[in-house]
Amino acid sequence: MDTQTLIYLFVGATFALYIGIAIWTRAGSTSEYYVASKGVHPVLNGMATGADWMSAASFISMAGIISFTGFDGSVYLMGWTGGYVLLAMCLAPYLRKFGKFTVPEFIGERYYSQTARVVAVICVIFISFTYVAGQMRGVGIVFSRYLEVDINTGVIIGMCIVFFYSVLGGMKGITYTQVAQYCVMIFAYMVPAIYISMLITGNPIPQLGFGSEVTGTGQSVLERLNGLGTELGFGVYTDGSKSTIDVFFITMALMVGTAGLPHVIVRFFTTPTVRAARQSAGYALLFIAILYTTAPAVAAFARTNLLTTIPGVEYSNAPQWVKNWEKSGLIAWLDKNGDGKIQYGPGAPFAGAPTFSAETGAHGERQVTNAPTDAATEFYVDRDIMVLANPEIANLPGWVIALIAAGGLAAALSTAAGLLLVISTSISHDLLKSNIMPSISEKQELLAARIAAGVAVVVAGLFGIYPPAFVAQVVAFAFGLAAASFFPAIVMGIFSKKMNKEGAIAGMVVGLAFTFSYIVYYKFINPTAGAADWWFGISPEGIGTLGMIFNFVVAVAVASVTSAPPERIQHLIEDIRIPRGAGAAIDH
């Protein structure tokens, strides 16, 4: 059976599985739609959380960015891992004990204000749509290569799939779909990693292969990679180019942004008890660690294979994977010196991403129409394809290539569904039911949630078609927005009896407005600005940390000059924080 047939078979089978689960677990009430009736087993919730957490950014883009930037890419690994630990161990159990449906509902109740709740809804929409843009882009990338369609068509296909099972099943359907997606995803990630680790180092465990010698060279993987990179003019793979302050701020923004992500927090509302929430957090950390400890090895293996198979090769003799990915527009070559060989080195080969014409070049390559830069390099590789192309670069069997296609789609679709659910529940439950139309029935509220999810799918698709950056970077912006808006409000809402509604609202507005404005200015209005132009040398990816600091400072300052929270709120905070056992008796 040829590879393309296997791809259709694997992808079709997994889609049939997801849709079947959605039909089987169709939500019939708002409780099922919002929090799966709080009846999900800790192990299953841990797997669903892992799938929700390990988005296209983790599966597709994280190893890709580490592959290209080396040490600098480790900020994503450190920030996202540390962030989940912070959320799972320090915040999630308290939020579960509070016993509500959504994060805006917690904000509204804790800060005894519908205004605070509306501000929280706005924060949810900003964060979730920024995040979902990366997921839909990831869906488009996978479809563009494996179903041989362009990226935009791939995004539209992904929209249809997500629409079906997120609108139909709600949290109940998404939870059990994500359990299946986690199994597909982790199997798809680990199988090629094990294969390639054995081929390069002879060690079947990727995490150990990462520190082993490359067969026949006498050099470790990183030594080999440093040598290959410097020979071609790249910087040393194990050295970083970012300033220490920027590394710190990006890592911190990713870490605290994780603890403010509403689609991850809501997963802990689905367990039957607080004890189960803590257990599911532990299981999720285990399930997530499998992929996160493997990602650096995958990145290094992919980069090694790329640098040993591409530079200096005649285009006419280039491996088939180059032609395959070229069709999707994610690889491009322009013969600047007319020698017919692929020259690959540092610098951008084109003015922006490649723009193709209908014609082919002298060597049969897709003709690039945008003017080349002065860089000597002739070869463009989209960093988001490295994990997906890795099995093809390593010449693995067709069924492994088909498996990675199914895994990439599972990663992007699982998180996209969770984000869209958060958007729809925030609009239907926190905006309509609690503010605009409090008298609507449960049936009408459920219908409103499904309509909101449908509209959100369309908007998310547009963001996927017109993304502001590559997948991991788009997701980093979402984490920055979450760090600057939700995290301080949640932390102070749990641990400070003095924080009042005026302080929380002011802090969220200032943090979100500052971070959003900074990102928009330096990514869209003045995209050529560099570290010398940034505030204190902090990049847009890390500015959420400064936004968080502004949030804390403004919130504390405003709270100090306004009235303290009502006594009932102070008792509520004590009730959330002080354990009274771990069984169902403490649920509210």
Query: Are 257 and 240 found together in one domain?
Result: yes
Residues 85 and 208 in one domain: yes
- Out of 456, 476, 496, a domain closes at 476
Are the CB atoms for 271 and 277 separated by under 8 Å?
yes
Q: To the nearest whole number, what is the mean pLDDT of the chain?
A: 81
**Structural domain containing residue 287:** 3-303+396-476
Do 425 and 358 fall into the same domain? no
- Does 170 lie in the same domain as 292? yes
Last residue of a domain, one of 337, 359, 390: 390
If asked whether residues 171 and 85 sit together in one domain, one would say: yes
DSSP reduced 3-state for 213: strand
Tokens of 494: 């749990």
Query: Within this chain, do residues 310 and 276 fall inside the same structural domain, yes or no?
Result: no
Which of 476, 494, 517 is the endpoint of a domain?
476
Nearest to 331 by CA among 354, 301, 298, 359: 354
- Range scoring the smallest mean pLDDT among 40-54, 189-203, 381-395, 456-470: 456-470
537 CB burial (10 A radius; 0-12, 13-18, 19+): middle
Residue 510 has pLDDT above 90, yes or no: yes
Are 311 and 277 found together in one domain?
no
On the question of pLDDT at 92 being above 80, the answer is no
Encode burial over 43-74: b for 16+ CB neighbours within 10 A, e otherwise.
Answer: ebbbbbbbbbbbbbbbbbbbbbbbbbbbbbbb
Position 585 confidence tier, pLDDT thresholds 50, 70, 90: very low
360 with 261, same domain: the answer is: no
Give residue 378's pLDDT. Answer: 87
Q: Is residue 556 part of a domain?
A: no
* 196 band by pLDDT with thresholds 50, 70 and 90: very high
Same domain, 216 and 286: yes
Same domain flag for 219 and 333:
no
State pLDDT tens for residues 137-151: 777 777 777 777 777
Cβ atoms within 10 Å, residue 525: 9
Residues 331, 203 share a domain: no
Task: Look at 99-108, 201-210, 408-417, 470-479 and tell me which has the smallest mean pLDDT.
Answer: 470-479
Asked whether residue 573 is domain-assigned, the answer is no
- Is position 541 within any domain? no
CA distance 268 to 93: 7
Predicted structure pTM score: 0.80
Provide the domain count of the chain. Answer: 2
411 near 138, Cβ under 8 Å?
yes
* Residue 542, domain member (yes or no): no
d(CA 227, CA 308): 11
Same domain, 256 and 163: yes
Please compute the mean of the pLDDT values over residues 60-66 and round it to a whole number.
84
Per the domain annotation, does 586 fall within a domain?
A: no
Mean pLDDT is lowest, of 23-32, 236-245, 523-532, for: 23-32
Q: Using CA atoms, how far apart are residues 400 and 402, in angstroms rounded to an integer?
A: 5
Give the best-scoring range by mean pLDDT among 34-48, 370-384, 472-486: 370-384
Write out 515-532 in H/E/C secondary structure.
Answer: HHHHHHHHHHHCCCCCCC
Distance, in Å, from the CA atom of 414 to the CA atom of 394, rounded to the nearest integer, reads: 27
Q: What is the mean pLDDT of the segment spanning 164-180? A: 72
- The answer to whether residue 264 sits within a structural domain is yes
CA atoms within 13 A on the CB side of 165: 30
* Residue matched to tokens 């990179």: 229
* SS3 category, 314: strand
* 517 falls within a domain: no
Residue 559: inside a domain: no
